[in-house]
Structure formats: C-alpha cells, structure tokens
Structure 1
Amino acid sequence: MSAGELRQLLNKLSPTMALIVELAYETAMRRSEILKLTTQCLHLDERIADVIDGKNGTRSVPLTMRATELLKEAQRLALANKAHRGRLFIVTPHAVSQAVRLARNKAGLDCSVRLHQLRHTRITNVAKKGFNNAQIMIVSGHRDTRSVARYSHLNAKDVLHLID
C-alpha cells in the first residue's frame, strides 16, 4: 500500500479506527495483536510493546517514534474511558475489518487494499532499509525466514544502495 493510499484510508476512518490502522502500519502487528494490547503491555519510555499470546507466542515489538505517539494517545483514551482491564481498544476484529472495507470504498481505493496489507508494506519497507532477516523477524514476529520472504516484496532496485 502506498503512503498516499494509507492517507486516503486514514482520512475516511473514525479516530479510533484510524489509530488502529496506523498502528498496524507502524508496527507490522497483526490485527489480533493490536486488539489484545493493554496499558500493562506498553513500555513507551523504552519504545517497546509486549504482545501477549500472539500467533507465534509472546514477543516484544520495537516501536517507531510515530507508533509510540499513537500508543500514548490510545493509552490516554483508554484511561479516560476506564477501559475494561486496561484494554486499549474495545472493538471487535470484525468491526476493524468492516471499517477498513467501508473506508476503502469511500476513498475509491482498489479492493486489494486491506488491513493485513499494511503488515506486508511495513515489512517490505523495513527490508528496503537494509534490515537482515533476523532483525525483520523481530519486527514482524515471524519464526522463520520463509515467512519473511513471503512478506518482504523486494526487487533489485531495492538493494542497490546496499551493494556499494
């Protein structure tokens, strides 16, 4: 997904859904991982979020500066709303997918634009920066390099800056 498509999508979402979608891009976290986040999972001074009981177990996710800002806002809203058990987001996975689908249609974006595509986009962007497979696996939470290869969509131009 391009940066322009992401902006268009975010502009058509409610503030809470936009926060979730932008977090998906910034962290490469799965929808289920984002929705399980609690205030106790966040170590924002260290720029780390703990994913508890994710698809591949428990892991620590390194956070971009923007992801840290987004999570501070989510934490503020959760505390203000006295969220149940400190959960950051009180929405269902289906509601997130439905909101993305509706926003995509309102924005006139291609039907291939989906929330999970942001995970591919972030992993590809991290790979383009020159991260090695071990580093990408920390960002993505993948357990093997075959998964990393499926998610990082690189071509020869993407690695030119690394060979000189």
Structure 2
Amino acid sequence: MATIVKRPSGKWQATVRKDGQSRSMSFHKRADATKWARETELSADRGLLTPALSVGASEMTLGEVLRKYRDDVTSEKRCADNESYAINGFLRKCSQLANKKVNKLRSADFVHYRDQRIKSMKAATVVRELGWLQHALDVACDDWGQNLPQGNPVKPVRRPKIDNRRERRLQEGEWQALLNAVNQSRSPLMKPLLTLALATGMRRGELLSMQWRHVDLERRTVFLPQTKNGRARTVPLSPNAVAVLMDLPRADDRCLPLSGNSVRLAFERLRQRAGVIDLTFHDLRHEAVSRFVESGLSLAQVQMISGHRDLRMLMRYTHLQTDDIVAKLAAVGLD
C-alpha cells in the first residue's frame, strides 16, 4: 500500500509498505512521487521489495542523525555556535534516546524528554530544542532516506507556553558592581562588550558579529547587514560607544572576536562575582532601550536604533521608571 504526504520542507514523500516491509523516497513534485510509488508497488507485487531495500535506509540512530545535522545543517545557520552546543549537550546527556533507531522513535520519547527538561530549563529553551529535533528528523526523512513509519514523532509533542516578558531594570549600584567584577575577568573584551551593549541596545549576536569594515567612526555609525529579524540596519553610536571602539585592538575582522557560548559563560561568572541576581545579558538591551525612551527620544527614533519590527514589540522593552513618570506629571501640574 502506498501513501504520499507533503513534508514540512515542501517535498513529497512516497512510502510503499507490503508484508511488514517498507520503502520511502522524497521528491520535489507530487507527480514524481506518485509515479515512483506505482512502480515500487509493482515491484512489491512481484516480490522485488527486498528487506535490504526496506531497512537499509532506516539504520541511522537519532544520535547519528543529530551529528550529521549538526555538521551539515546547523553549521550553515547564523545560530550555529549555540545550536551546536545544545546538540552536543543532548548527545552527552541523553545517550539512551540518542542510541535509538529513528524508525523506533515515538512521540512518548520526546514527551518524556520535554517533561524532564522543563524542570530545569526555561520554556523557550525547551521549545527551541524540540524545534531542531523535529527539523533534524524532517531532514533525515526528506534528504537522507530515513523512514519514519508514523511520521515525525516530535511534531505532535505539545510545546510549553513561553512567556518572555521581563521588566528587569538595572538597580542602583548593579552596573558599577558588574564593571568592578568584569575587571577580574580573564577576557579583556568583556568590559567593552558590556559597555557597548548598554550604549547601543544591540543584541549579543549583533555585537559579536560586528565587523570593522562596517564601522564608521567619523559618522559615528555601525552597519549591521544581518540581524535577528532579517533586516539590515545602521545603528547610531553615542560618544561613549565611539570611545570604546577606538580603544579596541584591530587584530581581527570582528570588533569583538568572541563566541556566543564563551560570552554566556563569562557573563554568568561575573554576575555571580558581582552579586547581581536574576540578570541576563539580554536585560542590558532592555535597559538601553528604556533609557533611550527616558532620554526623550521618540519611539520611532528608538525603533530605528533597536531594530524592532513594530512598535508593539518595542513597547515590551520600554518599562519607564515610575519615579520618572511621577516627576514629569508633577512638573506639568496635572491634577
């Protein structure tokens, strides 16, 4: 019996099953998948659908799929460092699941994985992990000849609800405590990185990908050809940001030649040394954008600096200090 389904990649997967044996193939056009299915069914009726043909394409384990996915697919992504780190962690900590053949995987395996991970990780992290697990199995099925008899087992797994809204602002003394702590850091680039994060409101990935050829110190701008939302933008630089950039060495094409993971680990260490609780690197972007608004810039001007695609997203970052609003209301004499 033949079945033809459209994969998330847009390809058409044809599967022929007979007497406990199966064979699958993916095509760009449905017509080609249908033609292949008819020819394979005829071969099966003649007894030519051999076990070697049916099981050979399904011999990969989940671990083998993930290693190939990491090397062939993840390596081409902008988030390659972070995703590769996450995949390597999965391979180390989930060896029992990684050693399963892909055609033996079931949704229950990943439901259990989700329930265990959510105990120690944020919902957004778990959702990202389920995302690359699902994509890896889709690629294995579409491009590497793997057979998933019941479809992708990750797809029906319910994702945890994400609530990324944060109102964390720097409290009195915290910024100085961070700067004092970062002076003890083994990386001389952490202090300029933190200072630029607060001065520009740029994302961590944007700061780490910033190249000298895109920096114009005379015009006090930096051009970002690639950003999280896919839109290039030019970021204006404050005098403080220009001063930091002028003091940086130019031995590399990048202004801050650090990896995302090394920054994550270094920030966690210095945060603990500074005694600052519940602060993430991304909170510095939140703080910067809020300060832009508090300084009197319009939301449209802040949007140009921060790169938010619409004002609704920008409003999530502009939690103005209540005391400032009270002072302004008193100044204008509103009853």
TM-score, normalised to structure 2, is 0.44
Structure 2 residue 176 is the aligned partner of structure 1 residue 2: no
Preserved contact between residue 26 and residue 67 of structure 1 (Cα < 8 Å): yes
Amino acid at match of 1:133: L
Distance of 2:181 and 2:296 partners within structure 1: 33
Preserved contact between residue 48 and residue 60 of structure 1 (Cα < 8 Å): yes
Residues 79-99 of structure 1: CA deviation (Å, up to 9, x unaligned):
xxx31xx11122101111111
- Counterpart of 1:147? 313
**Pair 1:10–1:70, CA change in 2 (3 A):** same
- Counterpart of 1:25? 198
**Pair 1:52–1:2, CA change in 2 (3 A):** farther
Equivalenced residue count is 156
**Out of 80, 84, 103, which is 2:270 matched to?**
103
Preserved contact between residue 61 and residue 139 of structure 1 (Cα < 8 Å): yes
State the identity as a percent.
33
- Counterpart of 1:119? 285
As a proportion of its length, which structure holds more helix? Answer: 1
118-127 or 154-163, which moves further after superposition? Answer: 154-163
Preserved contact between residue 36 and residue 52 of structure 1 (Cα < 8 Å): no
- Counterpart of 1:66? 240
Preserved contact between residue 49 and residue 60 of structure 1 (Cα < 8 Å): yes
**Pair 1:47–1:90, CA change in 2 (3 A):** same
Residues 14-55 of structure 1: CA deviation (Å, up to 9, x unaligned):
331111111101000000000011110101111101112111
- Counterpart of 1:87? 254
- The Cα shift of 1:136 comes to 1.0
**Pair 1:3–1:16, CA change in 2 (3 A):** farther
Amino acid at match of 1:58: A
Preserved contact between residue 9 and residue 100 of structure 1 (Cα < 8 Å): no
- The Cα shift of 1:148 comes to 1.1
Distance of 1:3 and 1:138 partners within structure 2: 28
Q: Which has the higher contact order (CA 8 A, sep 6+)?
A: 1
- The Cα shift of 1:155 comes to 5.3
113-122 or 12-21, which moves further after superposition? Answer: 12-21
- Counterpart of 2:215? 42
**Pair 1:155–1:4, CA change in 2 (3 A):** closer
Residues 120-160 of structure 1: CA deviation (Å, up to 9, x unaligned):
11111111122211011012111100111100002554345
Preserved contact between residue 26 and residue 64 of structure 1 (Cα < 8 Å): yes
Residues 94-119 of structure 1: CA deviation (Å, up to 9, x unaligned):
11111111001011111x11111111
TM-score, normalised to structure 1, is 0.87
